[in-house]
């Protein structure tokens, strides 16, 4: 195990989209002001897509106050992508059939978070950064390396112990990593196919080329249960690591686990 | 995504900033941009992303299954760090020291929630729980175990074991509100520059 290694040239934590987004940028630094632009972008996404705000486009559309053609182009594209993902997951991910905080049944928040962080990563890359990690409440995009010839080390939270890891991954970018789980009492993920909370798994982690898709797939895998490992294995570019309540761990063939350290 | 208290104004802005943001937002929002970001069916990207780490995926070779192991000590590199940082003292704002700002106490449907923002060198480095609902002994333990990821992320990163942590977050509105008020106080006091 290497000791810590590359200097972080820029570290920033922003509270936005109902979570904390942290930026860890290694050399080279992006141009001055790029991070401010990214932060502004994330707040714009929040204002557009928040299901906690009465005035967001997504809330107004969910309530029928706006029609599809009155929505911004980006919002339309997100909704179309939600429909595609519902098809791809056999209905296990369905942003149009889940209870949202605003009282509607439209909640694309998981996809939106992943998508917006991918956009943030592209903005930083356009501004000259090549090696960085953005963590949005446990959903991660990684670009480049942590240090020359060194992968990023990403811990996957142990479902029962917040300060422990179930597994540690060594990855180079570009990659997105998303985890679905219900650690907290009272928290739940609804299976849209039956309209009731699911308890099939303790945790589902999906890595792949696009964080928004990985997030949707993690939600779908969590809902589908352990058998979803075969389904995820058939999704090109995506790999999964699933943990059941009894501590059994299952991963698809391409999952880049460094060492399975799951313990109870 | 609850609208928190009013944010303190951010730092100076470049005159061309608005136009640039507009252009970036527009480019991200275009179909082409989305097609790029959603290029999730291109398997070659992932292969290159993790090349050298794993063999190329064979979709017919579906799964591996492992029984739980008992490597508890290997699995818990950050335990000590969590304990020390949640008790970080309030210190004078000198270089490298951690300065703590308590957030407002917010009533949630489960009870009062109050968090503390810990600032070091102008940045938020950790969030500690001051108060969390404790209708019975068990829930305190469960809630503290379920601290939002920022805390474990900041602390595990400091522990030099991993760079970042993936996990689900269920940040309650009360947690977010309390944290925002602590951050606002920290900014008002000039302790936060990032």
CATH number at residue A151: 3.10.520.10
Among A231, A175, A186, A185, smallest CA distance to A204 is for: A231
Q: Which domain holds residue A222?
A: 2-260
Query: Region A11-29: what's the mean pLDDT?
Result: 86
More confident residue, A183 or B68: A183
* Predicted structure pTM score: 0.66
pLDDT of residue A153: 86
Which secondary-structure segment (H or E) carries A220? helix A211-224
Q: Residue A80: pLDDT above 80?
A: yes
Mean predicted confidence (pLDDT) in A68-97:
95
pLDDT digits (tens, 9 = 90+) for A184-241: 555 678 888 888 888 889 999 999 999 999 999 999 999 999 999 999 999 999 999 9
Does the beta-carbon distance from B149 to A20 stay under 8 Å?
Answer: yes
For residues A138 and B141, what is the distance between their CA atoms, to the nearest angstrom? 21
Residue pair A141/A133 in contact by the 8 Å Cβ criterion: yes
Are the CB atoms for B158 and B81 separated by under 8 Å?
A: yes
In this complex, do A77 and B29 lie within 8 Å of one another by their Cβ atoms? Answer: yes
Please count the CA atoms within 13 angstroms of the CA of A51 that sit on its side-chain side.
Answer: 19
Q: Does the distance separating the beta carbons of A174 and B45 come in below 8 Å?
A: yes
Q: Is the ipTM of this complex over 0.85?
A: yes
Provide mean pLDDT across the span B6-26. 40
Q: Judged by CB atoms within 8 Å, which residues 59-98 of A form the interface with B?
A: 72-74, 77, 81
pLDDT at B96 over 80: no
Query: Which chain A residues touch B169 with a CB distance below 8 Å?
Result: 19, 137-138
Res A169: pLDDT: 86
pLDDT > 90 fraction of chain A, expressed in percent and rounded: 61
CB contacts, 8 Å: B149 with chain A:
20, 135, 137-138, 157
B-interface mutation test, from A50, A58, A101, A138, most B Cβ less than 10 A away? A138
SS3 A260: strand
Answer yes or no: is pLDDT of B78 > 80. Answer: no
Judging contacts by C-beta atoms under 8 Å, the chain B residues touching residue A198 are none
**A196/A100 Cα distance (integer angstroms):** 14
Task: Scan residues 214-233 of A and list those with Cβ closer than 8 Å to B.
Answer: 229-230, 233
Answer whether A157 touches B (CB < 8 Å). yes
What are the residue ranges of helices labelled H in chain B?
Answer: 17-29, 31-37, 43-49, 79-86, 137-145, 149-158, 173-188
A 184-203: CB under 8 A from B: 184-187, 203
A3 in contact with B at a CB cutoff of 8 Å?
A: yes
Of A19, A113, A109, A165, the residue nearest B149 (C-alpha) = A19
- How many domains are contained in chain A? 1
The verdict on a CB contact (< 8 Å) between B165 and A156 is: yes
Burial status of residue A7 (CB atoms within 10 A of its CB: 0-12, 13-18, 19 or more): exposed
Cis peptide before B95 (omega within 30 of 0): no
**C-alpha span between A130 and A148 (Å, rounded):** 11
- State the pLDDT at residue A187: 62
- Lowest-confidence range among A25-39, A105-119, B156-170? B156-170
């Amino acid at each position: 195990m290497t000791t810590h290694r590359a200097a972080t040239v820029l570290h920033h934590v922003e509270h936005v989209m109902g979570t904390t987004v942290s930026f860890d940028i290694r050399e080279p630094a992006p141009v001055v002001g790029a991070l401010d632009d990214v932060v502004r972008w994330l707040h714009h996404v929040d204002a557009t897509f928040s299901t906690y705000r009465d005035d967001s486009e997504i809330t107004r559309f969910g309530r029928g106050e706006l029609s599809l053609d009155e929505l911004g182009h980006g919002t339309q594209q997100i909704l179309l992508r939600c429909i595609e993902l519902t098809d791809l997951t056999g209905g296990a991910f369905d942003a149009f059939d889940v209870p949202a905080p605003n009282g509607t049944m439209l909640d694309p928040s998981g996809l939106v978070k992943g998508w917006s962080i991918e956009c943030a990563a592209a903005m930083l890359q356009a501004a000259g950064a090549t090696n960085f990690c953005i963590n949005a409440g446990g959903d991660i995009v990684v670009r480049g390396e942590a240090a020359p010839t060194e992968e990023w080390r990403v811990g996957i939270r142990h479902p029962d112990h917040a300060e422990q890891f179930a597994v540690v991954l060594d990855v180079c970018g570009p990659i997105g990593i998303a985890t679905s789980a219900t650690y907290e009492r009272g928290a739940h993920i609804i299976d849209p196919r039956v309209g009731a909370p699911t308890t099939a798994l303790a945790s589902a982690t999906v890595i792949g080329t696009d964080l928004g898709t990985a997030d949707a797939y993690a939600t779908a895998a969590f809902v589908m249960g352990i058998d979803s490992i075969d389904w995820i294995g058939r999704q090109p570019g995506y790999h999964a690591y699933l943990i059941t309540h009894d501590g059994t761990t299952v991963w698809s063939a391409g999952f880049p686990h460094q060492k399975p350290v799951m313990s109870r | 995504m609850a609208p928190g208290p009013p944010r303190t104004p951010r730092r100076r802005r470049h005159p061309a900033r608005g136009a640039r943001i507009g252009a970036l937002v527009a480019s991200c929002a275009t179909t082409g941009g989305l097609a790029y970001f959603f290029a999730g069916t291109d398997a070659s990207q992932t292969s290159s992303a993790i090349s050298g780490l794993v063999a190329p995926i064979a979709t017919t070779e579906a799964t591996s299954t492992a029984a739980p192991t008992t490597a508890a000590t290997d699995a818990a590199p950050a335990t000590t760090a969590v304990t020390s940082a949640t008790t970080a003292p309030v210190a004078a704002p000198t270089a490298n020291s951690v300065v703590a700002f308590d957030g407002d106490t917010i009533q949630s449907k489960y009870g009062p929630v109050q968090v503390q923002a810990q600032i070091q060198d102008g940045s938020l480095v950790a969030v500690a729980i001051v108060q969390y609902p404790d209708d019975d002994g068990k829930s305190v333990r469960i809630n503290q175990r379920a601290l939002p990821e920022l805390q474990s992320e900041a602390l595990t990163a400091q522990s030099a074991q991993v760079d970042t942590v993936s996990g689900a977050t269920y940040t309650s509105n009360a947690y977010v509100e309390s944290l925002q008020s602590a951050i606002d106080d920290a900014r008002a006091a000039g302790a936060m520059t990032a």
